[in-house]
């Protein structure tokens, strides 16, 4: 049986049979949750209340990579950090059904954060600082690295080698712009000796939940090794005139628990550009998934690639012309940065 076909065609019966195999007694009531990459369901059971079942997309992660995600979450939980840890059944957190890996998670009620303001900036900064302080304590053995060879070039080469950009002149512009941005990324890492460590990797507001117990961070599916500012720029609405001290307030909380060098923020713009390229390749690799053509109806058109190329060129120009001369820390000045607020895979 084609595993991908089984994943695309997960039926209510197969979903419920999977959790029954672990001893759960489903009532028959379940709700699909809004997840693009994986298949996630809120399921009611008569013996354990409501649980969340996550079926991992075949081919994205190996068994070892998924288990390392679970282990990192367990480390964070032992550190009393509010994250969701998969439920262990007979000493296991990862299971298999029809060739598809899946895990069971507790249901956490709360609401997605629309905006982080005021004293909440310091609280969220402290939460992320605690996560990064534990992330720094050991290295990842199996998860990917957010660097140019494995994260940037692989994505760019996939786009070019598969002739995804129909206009060759446009493809050349896209290539030249991406490669120049990648060079700047690597030069900044080298110049400022920017450290890489275990990070969330997809830390946007859609993965930040607030409840009566406070803030918690969800969905470590893209957990990897990378620079800590990857988790900053996706979370903070930087650059708005009336919120110029947001980063300052955030760092007051963050630096209570983790180290920070203001020079590391110079990697923010290159990280945005790498994500542009990586995201386009991600969509292309998922195109056989029946849900993707309807989710991204304009993907692959010349208009799509023209916009992508213009966005890349604009970002590269900003990167080359508007280097950050002074960056705020809890002891100095206010930020002057930009954030185009693009969160393509926001899972509300």
CB 58 within 8 A of CB 3: yes
**Which residues have a Cβ under 8 Å from the Cβ of 227 and sit 6 or more positions away?**
146, 189, 194, 195, 196, 199, 264, 267, 271
Whether 219 is catalytic = yes
Output the CA–CA distances (angstroms, integers) from residue 11 to 98, 107, 134, 240, in the order listed.
12, 21, 39, 46
d(CA 287, CA 281): 10
The C-alpha angle with vertex 1 and arms to 142 and 54, in degrees rounded to 5, equals 45
> Hey, which bits of 257-301 come out as E strands?
none
The active-site residue out of 147, 219, 222, 231 is: 219
The active-site residue out of 147, 202, 221, 246 is: 202
CB 101 within 8 A of CB 22: no
Residue 211 pairs in a beta bridge with 214
219 is in an annotated binding site: yes
> Hey, which bits of 179-322 come out as E strands?
197-199, 208-211, 214-217, 224-226
d(CA 21, CA 273): 44
Instruction: Count the alpha carbons within 13 Å of 157 in the hemisphere toward its beta carbon.
Output: 7
d(CA 49, CA 31): 14
- Does the CA dihedral 73-120-136-147 come out positive or negative? positive
Closest CA to 204 of 248, 237, 165: 237
4 is in an annotated binding site: no
Whether 259 is catalytic = no
- Active site members: 202, 219
Binding-site residue ranges: 207, 219
**Annotated binding-site members for Mg(2+):** 207, 219
């Amino acid at each position: 049986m084609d595993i991908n076909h089984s994943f695309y065609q997960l039926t209510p019966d197969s979903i419920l049979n999977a959790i029954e195999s672990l001893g759960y007694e489903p009532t028959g009531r379940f709700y699909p949750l809004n997840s693009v990459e994986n298949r996630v369901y809120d399921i009611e059971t008569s013996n354990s209340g409501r649980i969340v079942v996550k079926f991992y997309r075949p081919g994205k992660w190996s068994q070892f990579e998924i288990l390392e995600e679970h282990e990192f979450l367990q480390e964070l939980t032992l550190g009393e950090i509010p994250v969701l840890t998969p439920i262990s059944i007979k000493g296991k957190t990862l299971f298999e059904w029809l060739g598809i890996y899946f895990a069971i998670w507790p249901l956490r009620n709360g609401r997605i954060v629309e905006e982080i303001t005021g004293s909440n900036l310091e609280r969220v900064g402290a939460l992320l600082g605690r996560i990064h302080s534990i992330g720094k304590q050991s290295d990842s053995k199996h998860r990917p690295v957010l660097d140019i060879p494995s994260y940037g070039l692989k994505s760019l080469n996939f786009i070019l080698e598969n002739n995804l950009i129909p206009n060759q002149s446009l493809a050349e512009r896209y290539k030249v712009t991406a490669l120049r941005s990648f060079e700047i990324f690597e030069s900044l890492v080298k110049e400022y000796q920017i450290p890489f460590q275990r990070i969330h990797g997809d830390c946007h507001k859609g993965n930040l939940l607030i409840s009566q117990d406070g803030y918690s961070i969800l969905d470590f599916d893209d957990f990897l090794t990378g620079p800590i500012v990857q988790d900053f720029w996706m979370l903070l609405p930087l650059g708005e005139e009336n919120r110029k001290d947001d980063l300052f307030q955030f760092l007051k909380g963050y630096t209570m628990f983790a180290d920070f060098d203001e020079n590391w923020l110079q990697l923010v713009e290159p990280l945005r550009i790498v994500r542009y390229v990586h995201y386009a390749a991600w969509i292309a690799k998922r195109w056989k998934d029946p849900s993707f053509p309807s989710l991204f109806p304009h993907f692959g058109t010349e208009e799509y690639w023209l916009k992508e190329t213009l966005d890349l060129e604009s970002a590269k120009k900003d990167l080359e012309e508007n280097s950050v001369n002074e960056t705020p820390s809890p002891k100095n000045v206010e930020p002057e940065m930009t954030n185009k607020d693009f969160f393509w895979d926001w899972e509300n």
